[in-house]
Amino acid sequence: DQQVKQNSPSLSVQEGRISILNCDYTNSMFDYFLWYKKYPAEGPTFLISISSIKDKNEDGRFTVFLNKSAKHLSLHIVPSQPGDSAVYFCAAMGGGADGLTFGKGTHLIIQP
């Protein structure tokens, strides 16, 4: 049973526009949510996180929104740049020693 779901395997966005990546979760015990970016042949790179007690966190071009009642979060990238083309993983963590629970990822393609 998947506890973290990314229902869009891929997303194509024009350069300069907003990219919105979505993630749903089922486990109410998750305390934090993280977004990672992954290029081929590299490990995932941390982008941004949000605590379950907040509804928004912003870092430069990246903003994560959390809707706890809907068990939904989204990552907004504005403006989208060619270097943003990668696979984006949504991940959740609970009590610290349980590791991260990842979604299947969304392949973001930024078109010129």
Partner 1 sequence: DAGVTQSPTHLIKTRGQHVTLRCSPISGHKSVSWYQQVLGQGPQFIFQYYEKEERGRGNFPDRFSARQFPNYSSELNVNALLLGDSALYLCASSLLLDASTANYGYTFGSGTRLTVV
Binders of partner 1 in range 29-68 (CB under 8 A): 31-32, 34, 36, 41-47, 49, 51
Binding string, residues 73-112; x marks residues near partner 1 by CB under 8 A: ----------------x-x-x--xxxxxxxxxx-------
Q: If you compute the radius of gyration of the chain from its CA atoms, what whole number of angstroms results?
A: 13
* Amino acid in position 75: L
Instruction: Compare residues 38 and 79 and give the one whose CB is closer to partner 1.
Output: 38
Name the one residue in this structure whose structure tokens are 């403006």.
79
Distance CA 22, CA 7 (A): 8
Candidates 11-19, 27-35, 61-69, 73-81; binding stretch for partner 1 (CB under 8 A): 27-35
Tokens representing residue 12 in the block: 């194509």
| Footprint on this chain of partner 1 (rule: CB under 8 A) | 4, 6, 31-32, 34, 36, 41-47, 49, 51, 89, 91, 93, 96-105
